[in-house]
Structure 1
């Protein structure tokens, strides 16, 4: 079911289908009394992104809708219109667009054009001007991760974990691409097609045109020191991304997961999932290693089921958030509840920790509280809902009334 508009009042607790992400927001107490619902708030892009709501090569639609958990952005660029679920992924796209603009500046420089002429490299694909009046409109009311629970047990069909090509490895293109992306502070294996294409173009010209990565960076106005602000998690693995091939990173990830008591077949199922980049996989493995709790296989098994980029990014963000708050919250082992891996705190309370934008009290949220109640049973201890997002006043009141302790994370 979708998230959309208010539809009335709750029916008997636990009567809603268990097929959407709201199943992972959970609760331990069944809501016995009727309660009104609310429509997820619509906010302005400027109120969320500030000055980053628009840039030289993009703009975000002024109105940002929500599915009750994640905000749904519409990103307009010269390369097409993209629907982005979640503030975290939206900010990553903005960083990537900034890097793309730098690459376009580089490819237009005299030093770069001369290198192309010397080596007779094929013409590059240059970016067009920003499209300011596209006809596309938002076509969905829920994020891709909102259907996560409907596919429990679905197998992964990806055949290879390597993201490097044989030709690219031999010619040095892949190495140049990795070095260039790391200098710009973006994922070398980005799924954002405009940036991926431009990285390939520049890296090919560099590898076959005799122009070093440092030389390419000098071709950007501002010099070699120009870099895009990246996330802390990517900053911490920059050298690994630059120096190792995707196959080597995958091998490292499998080893780390096996040491965390994840079976090799399960670890390999995760790394073969093309919804994740090698960067995502390395970030997840390092987060789980830092977390140092039992039951990591439960997390990996769920993560391996991801079928969209949004789900993969959600799982990566969740792993990072768990590791960052492990000590402060006293996070213990993963436990399986209602088909989703949650955690027990060291004091025995149930912890549901999720990277969400804003929780609204929708019919789906209320219904899923009851679903988890039937799976968990009352144990006399108030569960904890922890999120780095916000709650609407109504959601805060209803969730607290249901017996939860709400923890706001930074």
Structure 2
């Protein structure tokens, strides 16, 4: 009745079929898959916190005290002292008045955006924003205007075209998850004041990576402003799970009472709330690791350019190797796995058509020896598939 078999076959024929990769080891730079060891370059575990010994000990202690589950949603029985301690710590970390925890980053964006912005708003959204932002916007009754990626002139033009709408919000990733570039926060704030807009920043991939203490995009640019609503996650550099919004107390109280993905979801486990708190504290002390990660990222980018690859400028640990063709991405993945490197291909709908890529992500546990091995492998693949990479052979 649903014609799912034909739809799935069409996905497969277009080299877009996805399957699970079942690791039988912790999330670290070295992983085990199907009884074979691999060097991992596809994890969001930027600071190595997923396997941090201190965080593991704390998690076990918390489970022994609070149990393995929260037992309910936040507004019924699912709030412990650990949840509120975590929210208070996030607020201090993000330099905001208050914060609210969600069960995941995706639920956080969907629930907060769909709740905060209603029919009186116009939303200006970067064309490369995360899928969770797009999903949240679709649930609002707001007018949505998409502007070209990080194009301040296009954004300005479209704001002027919608000047009759008083309530305006700009939504952007802080660090864009698939390209690894950073939003132009100085320019965005100038626009916010010129046109009386508010700014919502998804700091999922910025938190832990940018700023002296790892507080993210605003700290990186040395900007603190009441016009900014910050979203973040515990599931990237901080090594656990969950999402959060940091803003003023009015916005947070409103979300507590209206955000459906908050109200109707079982809360984070007490163990995760405690681990997230400890991860934030640890993160603030990781300035040297962030500097090292930045140096690794710049080194790899420059080395890939020297080979002949087209690589986006940046300092973050997300480095896209855009091959465009889905089939070529799958070929690269297979060849690299034969050399004990694990890299996942990113294809539509995760990225726009004709921008399929291998999304390289680095963590501070990687060494220059690891990076050089990856470079050598990618150099041999470039020499082997140069014509396909340049689009001369399909």
Q: Which has the larger radius of gyration?
A: 1
